[in-house]
Structure 1
Amino acid sequence: MAVSEVPMTAAGVNGEHEKARADLGVRWHVAGVLQGKESIAEQHLRLQGFASFVPRGERTVRHARRLSKRISAYFPGYMFVAFDVTQQRWRSVNGTIGIRSLITQGDRPLPVPFGLVERFIALTGKDGLLDFSGGLLPGSSVRIVSGPFAELIGRLDRLDPTGRARVLISFMNGEIPVDLESRGLVGIA
């Protein structure tokens, strides 16, 4: 069964990133990519009928005393490719333009744990970038749902691209900054 015959759900920019269904034998695998060739590799894999996904994020680059933001692969040099090892000609992935090779164990491609790539796809916004904020905005009220500060309410001070958050908690006529994982926060309307 070819990947194109497997029911897929579109996600990401222009619906190019596809989610493979593991219950049909299609699993996500990791492929090493030549530096900066992620887009070319995605295009050529798509032409061969393989679903692929490259998590992307925005990063700040300093050049000639200027700071600029660029979109780049979240895991530079790697991408995810979905295929069924028993049904597809997966060895052709190694010969794809832009691909160094599949990550293997012995002579078989090593599958990614179930749910990992699907979670990255779910965290990908309409702009095609990973978004760990969960819809939280700085300045909004949040409830801490896990950890030693569970059930306290505070004000979100900032979020960083890695999913860390700083929450200001009111305590004894002042605000105390607490650094937490953003997944441990829930917005309050």
Structure 2
Amino acid sequence: MDFSSEFTAPDSAVSESGLGDEVSPAVSAVGARASTLSVRQRPQRWYVAETLPRSENLAQYHLERQGFTCFCPRFRATRRHARRTTIIMSPLFPGYIFVSFSRDHDRWQSINSTIGVKRLVGGERGPLPMPRDVMETLLARCEEGEVDCIIPEIKPGDQIRLMSGPFANNVAAIEALDSKGRVRVLLDILGSRRSLRVDMRAIGPV
């Protein structure tokens, strides 16, 4: 999902009247609280803030110090460096975080000058809220700030990329799915096909 292009919404959608790296425990806790809140139970709306490169955590930390609730969904990814393999929590939308506030009651203008933030995404009339149904779906897919599955809908034959484990970054084909949240994939290894069983959270788009 790319939030960089300006998006438009009807005037009624703007009104609110009536209504990469290791993650610190504090940031994870806030993500967990955000994921348990129903969008329709909140008086605020969710907006998108573009961050400086690799500054999602920095921006979130400083926004939370101002009292804003932030949400940066992450997934487990494998990082290899100097023959070492580590698991990191990588942002699902690099360069963007979600911020909850009310345009009618909060001093949201300070977000644009917050350390780590580049700008609030919006149009000529200012920041525009995310659609409620989109945020409901995204929040429902996360547990303690971690997205349960990067690909919401898959079927046998689909091409996917392994995101963690010894075969991370390799492309494989979905062979079968089960009811326990695991999938069987076919992976080409040294010219031969091998069947592996992996967790849904370990796969991503090609």
Query: What TM-score comes out, normalization by structure 1 length?
Result: 0.59
Write the distance in 2 (CA, Å) between the matches of 1:49 and 1:91: 13
What's the counterpart of residue 35 of structure 1?
Answer: 53
What's the counterpart of residue 92 of structure 1?
Answer: 110
Match for 2:147: what amino acid? L
Find 2:120's aligned residue among 92, 102, 108. 102
Aligned pair in 2 of structure 1 residues 51, 97: CA closer, same or farther (>3 Å)? same
- In the alignment, structure 2 segments of 5+ residues that lack a partner are 1-18, 20-26, 164-172, 179-185, 187-199, 201-206
1:123–1:131 Cα contact (<8 Å) kept? yes
1:57–1:74 Cα contact (<8 Å) kept? yes
Find 1:61's aligned residue among 79, 94, 97. 79
1:24 Cα shift?
A: 5.7
1:44 Cα shift?
A: 1.6
1:130 Cα shift?
A: 0.9
Write the distance in 1 (CA, Å) between the matches of 2:110 and 2:177: 52
How is 1:27-176 mapped onto 2 (pairs within 5 angstroms)?
27-64=45-82, 66-126=84-144, 128-132=145-149, 166-167=175-176
RMSD (CA atoms):
3.7
Find 1:14's aligned residue among 29, 34, 48. 29
What's the counterpart of residue 5 of structure 2?
Answer: none
Q: Aligned residue pairs: how many? A: 140
Write the distance in 2 (CA, Å) between the matches of 1:33 and 1:105: 17
Give the SS at the match of 1:101.
Answer: strand
2:44–2:100 Cα contact (<8 Å) kept? yes
- In the alignment, structure 1 segments of 5+ residues that lack a partner are 1-5, 7-11, 134-145, 148-157, 170-176, 183-189
* Residues 31-69 of structure 1 deviation map (CA, whole Å, 9 limit, x = unaligned): 001122222222221221211100111122333455433
Give the SS at the match of 1:117.
Answer: helix
Larger radius of gyration: 1
1:91 Cα shift?
A: 0.9
Write the distance in 1 (CA, Å) between the matches of 2:175 and 2:112: 43
1:110 Cα shift?
A: 1.8
Write the distance in 1 (CA, Å) between the matches of 2:126 and 2:177: 49
Query: What TM-score comes out, normalization by structure 2 length?
Result: 0.54
Match for 1:85: what amino acid? R
What's the counterpart of residue 181 of structure 2?
Answer: none
Aligned pair in 2 of structure 1 residues 89, 62: CA closer, same or farther (>3 Å)? same
Write the distance in 1 (CA, Å) between the matches of 2:147 and 2:80: 21
1:82 Cα shift?
A: 0.8
Aligned pair in 2 of structure 1 residues 21, 74: CA closer, same or farther (>3 Å)? closer
